[in-house]
Structure 1
Amino acid sequence: MRQYRLAFAALAATMLLGGAAAPALASPPAASQATATTATTAADIPNVVDVTAANYQQVMQWSHTKPVVLDFTASWCYWCKKQDPYLRQYNTADNGAWVLAKVDVDRNPDLARRYGVRGIPALLNIQNGTEAGSRHVGFDGPASLRTWLNNL
């Protein structure tokens, strides 16, 4: 008889805990909804941004929503200046499908070192917070740039 009482008590405790767990199971959808409303949508992400140490982590978060092209450049770089209008034109033509994230190597040498950038202009494809695919280093004309961007 005592065994039955222990079994019944265990069953009752399980049922009570199960009942207590049911409302807890209802909580995750609410948490998911909160995450969805605070998450960045593609429409909230700018098409072109200047990257600094202060906003670098935010830019990396955006790469989880759409590709980020890190454009390592400098104000004195002739080829960077030649490439820039094409990058902006293609970004507009692609309706902001990717973020043009400009990194001035003189103002952000730590970012250039982090990615091992040794020559500019240098374009890196960042997706899901990490470098993906090949780099595009130098500027040899709009056709090769367009081809590289088409493969993001």
Structure 2
Amino acid sequence: MSDAESMPVFDSLDDLAELVASRRGLYVRWSHGPECDLELASSRDGLTGLSLPGLSANALDVEIWWDGRSVRTWVARRLYDYSHLPRVRAPGTRPWVLHGTEAGRGPDNEPLVKEVEPLAWIGACAIGEACEVITHQPGPWGPMLRNDSA
């Protein structure tokens, strides 16, 4: 069994929010998993093909401007914002949590992470819960890819 296959799975948004509340330096990456990613240890700029100095990921750390709001809602938003990626990327794309050190910023201003420690997969149930949380928020919340036709 590979390391990626043996990683735990967060099937609950509450469990993931608890982790985020207790530890800094966490990121979510949407890919085929750590085994594929750590082999190269870098992402590529889709426009130029340049190798980037780390893996592109999205920070899970709660920002100070969130001002005491629910960590669960914060994590839900971080997942919901990129929940379209499995539909628009290669089959098998899924989210996983990692701990790492920011090495710079990518072309879309996303964190580029090095010294990656894979922690867990994020299961479909947690993604479903995140979508449920966000779709029930008051106001015009929506994923980063606003046009769902992609």
- Tell me if TM exceeds 0.5: no
Between structures 1 and 2, the one with greater strand share: 2
Determine which structure has more spread, i.e. the larger CA radius of gyration: 1
When the two structures are superposed, what TM-score results if normalisation uses the length of structure 1?
A: 0.30
